[in-house]
Amino acid sequence: DAGVTQSPTHLIKTRGQQVTLRCSPKSGHDTVSWYQQALGQGPQFIFQYYEEEERQRGNFPDRFSGHQYPNYSSELNVNALLLGDSALYLCASSLRGAKGNQPQHFGDGTRLSIL
Amino acid sequence: QQPVQSPQAVILREGEDAVINCSSSKALYSVHWYRQKHGEAPVFLMILLKGGEQKGHEKISASFNEKKQQSSLYLTASQLSYSGTYFCGTENSYSSASKIIFGSGTRLSIRP
């Protein structure tokens, strides 16, 4: 039973560039959430996708956008990269339940470094 | 609103107990607890959905007090494998599209 997989594991970009990160959810999961984790901090919620639509969004600018495909996989796109975007980007999948959010299963993340 | 965790860090000897607290300034619908080891993904420990509910996971348990808008994680007879950073995540409302807001974490170090 494959868990959450993210690619790439590491990425180095320069300011102003654009980046796309990918995530395949755990088998059987239909909801994908993206988080940004700075060093020594907790994961910060970026947005959540379900049924190919953005359902919830955190306090992130429009430079951060996403997509979910019919097979539930998801992408996170960041435009006009800033030095402050350097972080670990985590994808978490879950199964939408009747009682709100369910346990989230995290991938190992993509370490993004901006030079 | 980000939940506040305390303490920020704790150092224990193997076999000792610890309590990690998580409090919110807003009413809570649920509380999630995760553990993250250095360089690894956060791992789900437990979720508490009802006020006053207490759940257990091996020698790790948690309580959730809706009225006080807080949750506590209890680690008893700590083992070396318990080392890592513990995060609480809170949901402030019931919604099929709710989001989890994480605290800044409590770093737990266990010494032999």
For the domain that residue B85 is a member of, what is the CATH number? 2.60.40.10
- What residue segments make up the domains of chain A, in order of their start? 5-114
Examine residue B90 and state whether it is found in any structural domain, yes or no. yes
Examine residue B101 and state whether it is found in any structural domain, yes or no. yes
- What one-letter code names the amino acid at B101? I
Residue among B2, B43, B98 minimizing CB distance to A100: B98
Which of 78-97 (A) contact B at CB < 8 A? Answer: 90, 96-97
For testing contact with chain A, the best of B99, B104, B107 (most A CBs within 10 A): B99
Cβ proximity of A36 and A43 under 8 Å: yes
Provide the residue range defining the domain that includes B8. Answer: 4-107
Q: How far apart are CA A76 and CA A11, in angstroms?
A: 13
CB within 8 Å: A104 and B100: yes
Q: How far is A41 from chain B (nearest CA, A)?
A: 5
Examine residue B37 and state whether it is found in any structural domain, yes or no. yes
CA-nearest residue of chain B to A91?
B41
DSSP-assigned beta bridge partners for residue A54: A49
CB within 8 Å: A103 and B47: yes
Q: How far apart are CA B1 and CA A101, in angstroms?
A: 17
**If DSSP states are collapsed to H, E and C, what string results for chain B?**
CCCEEECCEEEEECCCCEEEEEECCCCCCEEEEEEECCCCCCEEEEEECCCCCEEEECCEEEEEECCCCEEEEEECCCCHHHCEEEEEEEECCCCCCCCCEECCCEEEEEEC
Q: How far is B110 from chain A (nearest CA, A)?
A: 18
CB within 8 Å: A106 and B98: no
Examine residue B112 and state whether it is found in any structural domain, yes or no. no
Which of 53-72 (B) contact A at CB < 8 A? Answer: none
For tokens 């909801």, what's the residue?
Answer: A31
Counting the structural domains of chain B, the total is 1
- What one-letter code names the amino acid at B98? S
- Per-residue pLDDT tens, chain B, 112 aa: give them: 899 999 999 999 999 999 999 999 988 888 999 999 998 999 999 888 865 566 666 789 998 888 888 999 999 999 999 999 999 999 887 665 668 899 999 999 999 8
CB within 8 Å: B100 and A108: no
Residue B97 main-chain phi, psi, to 5 deg:
-120, 30
CB within 8 Å: B42 and A45: no
Cβ proximity of B88 and B22 under 8 Å: yes
Question: For the segment A73-97, what is each residue's pLDDT rounded down to a tens digit?
Answer: 999 999 999 999 999 999 999 988 6
- If one compares A55 and A22, the residue with the highest pLDDT of the two is A22
A5-114 adopts what CATH topology? Immunoglobulin-like (2.60.40)
Q: What is the mean pLDDT of chain A?
A: 93
Examine residue B100 and state whether it is found in any structural domain, yes or no. yes
